[in-house]
Amino acid sequence: MTKRALITGITGQDGSYLAEQLLNLGYKVHGIVRRVALEAPDQRFGRIQHLLDKLSLHAASLESYPSIFHVMSQHDFDECYHLAAQSFVAESFTDGFSTMNTNINGTHYMLAALRELRPNCRFYFAGSSEMFGKVRETPQNELTPFHPRSPYGISKVAGFDLTRNYRESYGMYACSGMLFNHEGPRRGFEFVTRKITSSVAKIKLGLASELRLGNLDAKRDWGHAADYVRAMHLMLQQNEPDDYVVATGETHTVREFCELAFGEAGLDYREYVKIDERFLRPAEVDLLIGDATKARTKLGWKPTYTFPDLVREMVRYDMQVLGDRRSDAAPVLTTDSRVLP
């Protein structure tokens, strides 16, 4: 019997990679999108444009329980991947109210609708390393206490607790992935990794002369989104629901990312990167590095991309996009993009 999966946030980085993977596994894939996206597919569906004829998309809003309830009432699902969120940490400081409303209520609405209509549907919640925030131990694992340092991190802790509560109170198959930073060529331009690689491409092609960043010494555990969506799927294939840290176990600074990215284009980052205090966080998190031992042993998961692989792919893709844009033929990146020359 063909499995049916619902993905919220299907138009985002993770949603597009996950949709690809599930389709390759023979799933029927559904996605929840805002109605405005359906009205402007050319602008909103860039990451899933090559999949549109294989997907079933439904208009709904995470801020509207009735719209989510309607989708659940019309379609049965075996698995639900709740990826949609206001996920840009800096924006959460600027507008904490909408971040809380979308991320916390949206998760609650999804769980409540599933419990009412599709209690046997397996539910995945996209947690975040930002939940750990001011860490008490390094590396962080599933037992590390949370101390979020941003409205975004706080909203993710609330979503994690909601998910666990529905699992323990109502017997639902509901689990969370505490995913550390995962990037790729489909990352939004507001995130520091894509900001760096897109700026490298612009500078190399003479379209920009500098890149302004905040804390170059901030350290993160960076992996590739294509690897991390595999872990999401594996979590919902286990006999019992549980929560998992997904990470590479390596940490790198923003400075290291810059050095590799500019180096890929034959440039020295020190000549182009300028420090701008506007991009410093009001409260910075400490060293985030994940211990994914549980995911490795119980799920059989491990990353396939190295840190240099990730940076190289992102730079090469942005170089290709800028070059092709002049001929209006931007490339579509699939998960086997490491074959790019």
Q: Which amino acids are annotated catalytic?
A: 128, 130, 152
Tell me the two tokens of residue 107: 């998760």
Contact between residue 55 and residue 31 where contact means Cβ atoms under 8 Å apart: yes
Contact between residue 110 and residue 82 where contact means Cβ atoms under 8 Å apart: yes
- Kindly state the helix (H) or strand (E) to which residue 193 belongs, with its residue range: helix 192-204
Q: What is the DSSP string of 150-188?
A: SHHHHHHHHHHHHHHHHHHHH---EEEEEEPPEE-TTS-
3-state secondary structure of 269: helix
Written as one letter, the residue type at 222 is W
Question: 169 Cβ partners below 8 Å, 6+ apart?
Answer: none
Contact between residue 80 and residue 114 where contact means Cβ atoms under 8 Å apart: yes
Contact between residue 261 and residue 200 where contact means Cβ atoms under 8 Å apart: yes
Contact between residue 85 and residue 103 where contact means Cβ atoms under 8 Å apart: yes
Contact between residue 179 and residue 224 where contact means Cβ atoms under 8 Å apart: no
Strands 219-220 and 252-253: antiparallel
- Kindly state the helix (H) or strand (E) to which residue 124 belongs, with its residue range: strand 122-128
Query: In degrees, to the nearest 5, what angle opens at C-alpha 306 toward C-alphas 302 and 312?
Result: 145
Q: What is the DSSP string of 278-341?
A: GGS-SS------B--HHIIIII-------HHHHHHHHHHHHHHHHHHHTTT-PPPP-TTGGG--
